[in-house]
Amino acid sequence: MYTELDNNAVLPSSTHYVLDYPNKNDLSVFFDYVNHESAMAEIYFENEDEAVLEDVTIQLFNNNGKLLHKEGNRCDLMLVLRDNGKIIGFIELRLIQNSEMMSQLYGLFVSEKYRQKGLANLMTAHALDFFVHTGLTSMTVSPSAESLTVYNKFGFYPAELDDVDIKKWFQQTQKERLEQLIEEPSLSLLMDLEMDVCQQAFTSHCKQSAQNFVPFEISQNLKKDLKTNVFDWRKRASSPTLLSDSDLGVLSTPEDHKKRKIESDAQSSLKPEQKNRY
């Protein structure tokens, strides 16, 4: 049975954040968040008239946040952030190992009471570390106005820019880029780590944000998967030499810090209705 969210709830007196995978017992809380956030409902419900989660999302929870598709070139990955055991945020990536398709940051959400605490940065940095260690370099996202700040920091830029304009884009300050994103909204943003200017912005922010994470822990199940290629999970073999062997693999292990929808085709067929909320 699904429960109603208490929008007047206050934060617990003592927070205990744990970054984790979801499981089937979390599905009701996830459903409630989606049902109360129109941007999330557009992504995760099968249609606008009925509050029914897509089957692929249910499968993702039943598989503890890791869903390798049979065709072998797509992996759906979800991380959740818990406070005292309850999910208060989540991020989903749809990683694609195909030169004709692009990986997607599919959903990003933080419960309203927990916003403005850097938690979206925390989840995004760790999720994108999987993206990097899988050897992928290009990703798309369709943002909402509220999520622009996060994506701008990680080096996402308007999809319509050409190579020359991209260089000019990153010559601006982070604040200037954000102001332009707000004034001239783009239906989709891209991140291409093969471009030096984008890679530099991404790496710089990952390193900076890691130094400012709120105190948190990483679950044992998630900890054992860090720094791995998601497409090697079937065989559990050693990851090949990847782009992540460079300084793009910016997240340190927890010990180092002491607690510190998809048929996403090529960039021309991005779906503007798939928005994210942080």
pTM for this entry: 0.81
Residue 13's pLDDT is 66
Q: What is the DSSP letter of 2?
A: P
Write out pLDDT tens, residues 157-171: 999 999 999 999 999
- CATH number (3.40.50.1970, 3.40.630.30, 3.30.420.40, 3.30.460.20) of 17-269 reads 3.40.630.30
Q: Give backbone dihedrals phi and psi of 74, rounded to 5 degrees, phi first.
A: -135, 135
Cβ neighbour number for residue 3 with a 10 Å cutoff: 9
Indicate the SS3 state at residue 216: strand
Q: Which of 14-18, 78-82, 145-149 has the lowest mean pLDDT?
A: 145-149
Write out pLDDT tens, residues 199-256: 999 999 999 999 999 999 999 999 999 999 999 887 664 433 344 343 444 444 444 4
Write out pLDDT tens, residues 116-152: 999 999 999 999 999 999 999 999 999 988 899 999 9
Structure token pair of residue 236:
């559990």
What single letter denotes the amino acid at residue 174?
A: Q
Write out pLDDT tens, residues 23-73: 999 999 999 999 998 888 888 888 777 789 989 999 999 999 999 998 779
Cα 187 from Cα 171, distance rounded (Å):
22
Indicate the SS3 state at residue 151: helix
Question: For residue 11, what pLDDT band results from cuts at 50, 70 and 90?
Answer: low
Is it the case that residue 96 has pLDDT exceeding 90? yes
